[in-house]
């Protein structure tokens, strides 16, 4: 019926007006929903009919449902068999039908500039971003989605009939006190909707093979709305509170079958009758007796005829049946019985290798959720082609990409498949069966899923693997959400905090990446929830809460989930506030509960992360350890301009003595670290969800929670643990950031260990000593190392710069892999100014010691490569010759190599001594540690640079490994190994005088070989394309050497198409390729597979959100045709595309180019006024009413607070107000 923006539901629980209460009544919770589909797989259409049963207490006048008008056409609506009127709103596009949708067709005039300013001020709402470009339209779309696009008017006949039934029931009961009972029981209402799904751009994907591509691939279809909008393919209530039971009925043509959540009560029942004797359809029926959300409903239709079952291993007592479905190719049905059995046995073997771990996963989750059994009779896993993501979790059913199936010889995929299947099973268990309040509380489910996955990984792969994955998640979150500046090239000289000129190079990183708090109070769409960093942050916060609570966290999780897995009249929906209350009640001490409250305010309600600077000094005279901890509030521009970190607040003295002495301003390099290093830092606070900024006239911060000091950043409160290890003892010191003492803390700690005896008096050749003996000769004080925040509660890893000897002690003596990784990072930051007998030897020993975790050994190899690249390599590197030092420096060294030469030799000799004997030896991957180490050392060796060029020895090693590769006697696949070696070619940089033909021949040979004999998931082709793109960006290969257009077409594999698109996006940084930007964007939009389309556009957006230099070309608008066409394509996608996540990603890309930042400036850039006017020339009534309802709500809250405090309201004249203030 066209677009009719109705009233927008504010969703507030307090001080609602009658109009708001009426709007809330439209979102009724159904008791049961019955859905009947007739699916035409080949035609890509579905005809459906659904019935929703409600039991309201009153007589609703309107019922709101979600139904995407861009894909669903409503054919008719009935309420209790009475025809009902309805309005079907459209949430895509803008304006009325027939209006121009291209921003270039509207002309900007002086009159509209006034309108632009007025509308920008009018729509500046609380808890939202400042209005820019499509913000108002996106807010209105989210509001309509929350209220419901399909508004059904309840006929008056239905109301009259309900009143008559109530009066009849009332007359049968004599007691008047039972009136409320009659009202609460409710009379059921049946809403019947007949609809047609005429387009499948979002929510449902149909795999249609062609004669040119994948002619043997079976045709099948599946849904991918477990984290999206299921209303794109059937009308429903998407709100989390609308949980109900479901009954699904499917009519499918005879060659195909259906897999859906729930218990299958009817399968392949023929629908032939006397009227239709040749009806090819068969009926399938599924019943879900557990109350689930609409997002838990999905299905897969195709040739899933033969179900594969796996027997549980011995010792695993799991009562849940495991059902696995794999689509069969059409040619398999034409084969004989014996060949079909052989193919089925091969498929079952691949399924056995991949899914045998599911029983152990279920057993692990059953122990963790002892009081909450698996809510379904069976656990279903469906493998499909062209899946949107690796795994999708529906209610009791997991939809997985068929790439997860692998043979036993694929080493790397075993670990990845286990982690993904564990995530899928956990999501199918609790994600859609838990009763939460709204979208902003979904982080709780993400965190609980992460807790279950973390426990399974610790049981199956070990604690080190789980800890390493958590650290990677923390680095990803800081990398995307909170990068402002970084410091590089540290000199080995003493410097105070904030001295930016003492060997530091400051690089600003400005980004437009969205930063939403986990519990965001404004409008949230599905696209905003799909940001990957949000999921990682939820995992980290839940792990931190688990560590703070301790062993009782498992009982807390069971009690909380027990009330939320079974919604009823007495239970309430789970939200962030109630979950934090549960966590606080689990602690017996009041201080611990207060710490949880502060932690929740800072990491759940806010977006930034603390930036901590730490200096260390040791006073030899008093044997005291002096630590100074300062929170940095500088912005990127202030750091670039050279602003030093001064005294931003009062200092807090040591708890023992308030007269703590400040560390010496000019300590010696041996007793004072040369500076401070922080991995990532935060941006200025200009995003939603952060606390209100301080007024310009007020400098008094809030008493509790986080503080926002204007544009400088965030101040955090809470406890911080400092772990100190001395020669004779080790202890943990806790400091408190709170109140006005949350800026700078100075700690003075008494050292109780004795100073080591100086052993340098003995004249010995130090190059003959062991590393332990060298450390005893080099140590200057009894402090071995100092660690800040060892449990990583503050999410951002804090690395305090120490002496080289202290880093090596920490690497060799501390068993925690986080400490070992920090030590390796600290050695890496010291650069070439290290002792050539200490750091290279320590890194080499770490690489060769099998007692270290394999990722720590790989990190040591990467640090050795960075050390080898920090200086010039001598001609003797790689041999046993030595460079003799002519001068005697007092340490009686005879002849030593430099630190860079020793680091390079450790990498080069590791490969030569183990895998080279006249020629490179054949592959043998039976030792998994050596397999991963060989790949890591090759990647690290390829990054060694000598004056920004790759040494010839490195090039020869990589080319020799590719030339002599022999996997004939190896029982494991070399796909991942070869892909890493080929990617190493992309790191090579040679001079323009050298020829690159040998490098290109090696890449072309493997690229052509993978076409003839495809590797697993075509990983070798993907690696060849990535290496070619890297070499082209480094100007090693010419741009005409390879064309990526032929790899972007559909006959290529999904991963190959995605990699080719990513390579074309990376080449846009070259001025010669800027004009191809509109063509690349159109290619992404024309991609058939939704997963490739999403990942390609997300890659482009995340790359340009970091503001590369090429964006200046699009902002100056010198190539008018290129800029205009790209802007029109992006604008069309963010307004008219059916995919919610793709639409939101396009909006982020638009902001990255023309939205917030200007090149070289930290202030917000100029808005695109034409685009803004195109949307907001006629603001809808929905936005105005929403704004008015919010203002009325705030006014009523202020009046209530005033009445409660004063008791009476006294009006004071305006003239007397100034005197009262005085």
pLDDT over 60 at 103, yes or no: no
DSSP string, 1134-1174: HHH-S-HHHHHHHHHHHHHHHTSEETTEEEE----HHHHHH
Interstrand relation of 378-384 and 397-401 (parallel, antiparallel or unpaired): parallel
pLDDT of residue 434: 83
pLDDT of residue 236: 92
pLDDT over 60 at 1044, yes or no: yes
8 Å CB contact between 860 and 935: no
8 Å CB contact between 838 and 774: yes
pLDDT of residue 1193: 60
8 Å CB contact between 688 and 605: no
16-25, 108-117, 1144-1153: which has the highest mean pLDDT? 1144-1153
- The CA distance from 687 to 682, in Å, is 12
- Strand locations in 402-524 (E): 485-488, 505-508
Place 336 in a pLDDT band, splitting at 50, 70 and 90: low
DSSP string, 95-152: SSTTS---GGGSPP-HHHHHHHHHHHHHT--TTSPPP-TTHHHHHHHHHHHHH-SEEE
pLDDT of residue 1007: 93
8 Å CB contact between 70 and 97: no
Place 666 in a pLDDT band, splitting at 50, 70 and 90: very low
- The CA distance from 1196 to 1140, in Å, is 36
> For all residues of the chain together, what is the average pLDDT?
75
Mean pLDDT, residues 662-691 taken together = 31
Mean pLDDT, residues 822-845 taken together = 89
- What tokens were used for 576? 């962030």
pLDDT over 80 at 1112, yes or no: yes
pLDDT of residue 33: 95
Name the nearest CA neighbour of 237 among 18, 357, 64: 64
Give the CA angle between residues 937, 943, 949 to the nearest 5°. 140
What are 992-1011's pLDDT values in tens digits?
778 788 999 999 999 999 98
pLDDT over 60 at 185, yes or no: no
What are 471-523's pLDDT values in tens digits?
999 888 888 777 665 555 443 333 333 333 334 455 666 777 877 788 876 65
- The CA distance from 262 to 291, in Å, is 11
pLDDT of residue 603: 85
**More confidently predicted of 469 and 991:** 469
Mean pLDDT, residues 789-809 taken together = 84
Place 1025 in a pLDDT band, splitting at 50, 70 and 90: very high
- The CA distance from 192 to 497, in Å, is 69
For the beta sheet containing 62-65, the strands, ordered from the edge strand earlier in sequence to the opposite edge, are 62-65, 150-153, 86-88
Which residues have a Cβ under 8 Å from the Cβ of 656 and sit 6 or more positions away?
A: 748
3-state secondary structure 648-701: CCCEECCCCCCCCCCCCCCCCCCCECCCEEECCCCCCCCCCCCCCCCCCCCCCC
- Strand locations in 348-483 (E): 378-384, 391-394, 397-401
Question: What is the model's pTM?
Answer: 0.83
Widest distance between CA atoms in the chain = 113
pLDDT of residue 1196: 62
Cα 141 off chain centre by:
24
- The CA distance from 365 to 369, in Å, is 6
pLDDT over 90 at 1132, yes or no: no
- What tokens were used for 498? 């904030």
Interstrand relation of 244-253 and 257-259 (parallel, antiparallel or unpaired): unpaired
- Strand locations in 489-543 (E): 505-508
How many other C-beta atoms are found inside a 10 Å radius of the C-beta of residue 529? 21
- The CA distance from 688 to 706, in Å, is 14
pLDDT of residue 380: 93
What are 559-577's pLDDT values in tens digits?
777 776 655 544 577 788 8
Number of residues that this document lists for the chain:
1222
């Amino acid at each position: 019926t066209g677009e009719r923006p109705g009233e927008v539901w504010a969703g507030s629980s307090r001080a609602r007006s009658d109009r708001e209460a009426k709007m809330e009544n439209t979102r009724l919770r159904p008791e049961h929903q019955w859905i009947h589909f007739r699916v035409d797989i080949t035609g890509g259409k579905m005809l459906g009919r659904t019935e929703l049963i409600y039991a309201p207490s009153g007589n609703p006048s309107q019922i709101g449902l979600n139904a995407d008008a861009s894909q669903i056409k409503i054919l008719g609506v009935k309420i209790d068999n009475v025809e009902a009127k309805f309005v079907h709103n459209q949430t895509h596009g803008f304006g009325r039908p027939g209006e121009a949708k291209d921003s270039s067709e509207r002309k900007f005039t002086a009159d509209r500039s006034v309108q632009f300013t007025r509308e920008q001020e009018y729509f500046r709402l609380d808890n939202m971003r400042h209005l820019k470009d499509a913000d108002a339209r996106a807010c209105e779309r989210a509001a309509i989605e929350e209220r419901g696009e399909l508004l059904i008017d309840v006929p008056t006949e239905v109301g009259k009939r309900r009143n008559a039934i109530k009066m009849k029931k009332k007359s049968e009961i004599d007691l008047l006190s039972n009136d409320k009972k009659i009202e609460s029981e409710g009379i059921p209402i049946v809403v019947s909707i007949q609809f047609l799904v005429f387009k499948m751009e979002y929510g449902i994907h149909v795999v249609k093979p062609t004669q040119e591509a994948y002619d043997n691939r079976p045709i099948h279809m599946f849904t991918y709305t477990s984290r999206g909008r299921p209303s794109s393919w059937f009308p429903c209530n998407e709100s989390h509170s609308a949980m109900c039971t479901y009954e699904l009925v499917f009519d499918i043509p005879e060659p195909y079958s259906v897999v859906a959540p729930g218990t299958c009560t009817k399968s392949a029942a023929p629908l032939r009758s006397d009227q239709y004797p040749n009806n090819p359809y068969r009926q399938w029926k599924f019943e879900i007796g557990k109350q689930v959300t609409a997002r838990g409903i999905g299905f897969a239709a195709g040739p899933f005829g033969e179900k594969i079952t796996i027997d549980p291993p011995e010792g695993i007592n799991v009562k849940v049946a495991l059902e696995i479905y794999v689509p069969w190719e059409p040619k398999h049905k034409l084969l004989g019985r014996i060949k079909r059995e052989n193919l089925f046995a091969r498929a079952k073997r691949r399924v056995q290798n991949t899914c045998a771990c599911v029983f152990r996963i279920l057993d692990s989750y059953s122990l963790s959720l002892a009081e909450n059994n698996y809510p379904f009779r069976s656990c279903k896993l469906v493998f499909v082609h062209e899946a949107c993501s690796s795994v999708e979790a529906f209610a009791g059913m997991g939809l997985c990409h068929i790439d997860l199936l692998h043979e036993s010889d694929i080493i790397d995929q075993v670990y990845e498949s286990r982690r993904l299947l564990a995530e899928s099973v956990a999501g199918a268990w609790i994600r859609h069966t838990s009763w939460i309040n709204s979208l902003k509380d979904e982080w709780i489910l993400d965190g609980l899923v992460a807790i279950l996955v973390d426990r399974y990984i610790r049981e199956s792969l070990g604690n080190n693997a789980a800890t390493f994955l958590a650290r990677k998640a923390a680095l990803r979150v800081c990398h995307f959400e909170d990068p402002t500046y970084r410091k590089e090239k540290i000199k080995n000289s003493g410097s105070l905090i904030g001295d930016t000129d003492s060997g530091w190079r400051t690089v600003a990183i400005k980004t437009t990446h969205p930063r939403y708090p986990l519990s965001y109070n404004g409008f949230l769409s599905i696209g905003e929830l799909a940001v990957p960093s949000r999921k990682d942050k939820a995992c980290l916060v839940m792990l931190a809460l688990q560590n703070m609570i301790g062993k009782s966290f498992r009982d807390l999780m069971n009690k909380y989930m027990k009330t939320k897995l079974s919604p009823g009249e007495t239970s309430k929906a789970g939200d962030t506030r109630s979950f934090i209350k549960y966590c606080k009640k689990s602690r017996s001490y009041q201080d611990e509960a207060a710490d949880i409250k502060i932690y929740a305010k800072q990491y759940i309600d806010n977006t930034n992360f603390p930036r901590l600077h730490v200096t260390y000094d040791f006073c030899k005279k008093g044997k005291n350890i002096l630590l100074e901890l300062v929170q940095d509030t500088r912005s990127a521009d202030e750091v670039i301009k050279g602003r030093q970190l001064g005294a931003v607040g009062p200092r807090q003295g040591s708890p023992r003595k308030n007269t703590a002495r400040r560390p010496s301003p000019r300590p010696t390099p041996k007793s004072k670290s040369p500076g401070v290093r922080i991995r990532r830092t935060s941006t200025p606070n200009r995003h939603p969800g952060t606390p209100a900024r301080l007024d310009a006239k007020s400098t008094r911060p809030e008493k509790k929670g986080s503080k926002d000091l204007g544009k400088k950043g965030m101040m955090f409160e809470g406890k911080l643990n400092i772990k100190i290890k001395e020669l004779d003892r080790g202890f943990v010191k806790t400091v408190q950031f709170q109140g006005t003492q949350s800026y700078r803390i100075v700690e003075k700690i008494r050292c109780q260990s004795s100073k080591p005896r100086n052993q340098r008096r003995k004249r010995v050749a130090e190059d003959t000593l062991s590393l332990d003996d060298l450390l005893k000769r080099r140590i200057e004080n009894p402090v071995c190392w100092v660690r800040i925040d060892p449990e990583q509660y503050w999410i951002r890893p804090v690395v305090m710069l120490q002496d080289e000897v202290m880093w090596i002690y920490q690497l060799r003596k501390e068993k925690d892999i986080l400490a070992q990784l920090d030590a390796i990072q600290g050695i890496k930051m010291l650069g070439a100014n290290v002792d050539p007998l200490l750091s290279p030897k320590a890194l080499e020993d770490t690489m060769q010691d099998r007692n270290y975790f394999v990722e720590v050994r790989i990190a040591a190899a990467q640090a050795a490569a960075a050390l080898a690249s920090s200086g010039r390599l001598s001609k003797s590197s790689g041999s046993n010759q030595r460079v003799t030092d002519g001068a005697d420096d007092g340490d009686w060294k005879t002849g030593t190599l430099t630190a860079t030469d020793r680091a390079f030799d450790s990498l080069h000799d590791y490969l030569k001594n183990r895998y080279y004997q006249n020629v490179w030896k054949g592959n043998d991957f039976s030792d998994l540690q050596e397999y991963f180490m060989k790949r890591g050392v090759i990647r690290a060796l390829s990054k060694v640079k000598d004056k920004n060029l790759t040494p010839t020895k490195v090039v020869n090693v990589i080319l020799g490994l590719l030339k002599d590769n022999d996997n004939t006697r190896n029982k494991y696949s070399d796909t991942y190994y070869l892909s890493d070696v080929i990617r190493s070619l992309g790191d090579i940089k040679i001079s323009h005088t050298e020829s690159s033909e040998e490098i290109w021949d090696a890449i072309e040979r493997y690229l052509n070989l993978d076409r003839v004999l495809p590797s697993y998931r075509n990983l070798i082709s993907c690696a060849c394309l990535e290496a070619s793109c890297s070499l082209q960006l480094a100007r090693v290969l010419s741009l005409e050497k390879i064309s990526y257009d032929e790899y972007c077409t559909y006959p290529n594999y999904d991963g190959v198409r995605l990699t080719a698109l990513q390579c074309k996006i990376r080449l846009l940084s070259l001025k010669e390729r800027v004009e191809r930007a509109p063509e690349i964007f159109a290619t992404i939009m024309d991609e058939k597979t939704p997963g490739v389309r999403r990942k390609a556009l997300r890659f482009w957006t995340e790359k340009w959100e970091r503001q590369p230099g090429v964006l200046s070309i699009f902002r100056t608008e010198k190539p008018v045709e290129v800029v205009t066409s790209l802007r029109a394509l992006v604008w069309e996608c963010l307004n008219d595309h059916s995919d919610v996540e793709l639409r939101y990603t396009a909006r982020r890309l638009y902001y990255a180019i023309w939205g917030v930042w200007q090149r070289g400036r930290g202030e917000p850039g100029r808005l695109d006024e034409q685009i803004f006017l195109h949307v907001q020339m006629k603001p809808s009534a929905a936005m105005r009413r929403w704004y008015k309802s919010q203002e009325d709500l705030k006014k009523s809250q202020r009046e209530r607070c005033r009445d409660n405090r004063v008791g009476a309201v006294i009006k004071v004249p305006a003239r007397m107000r100034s005197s009262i203030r005085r």
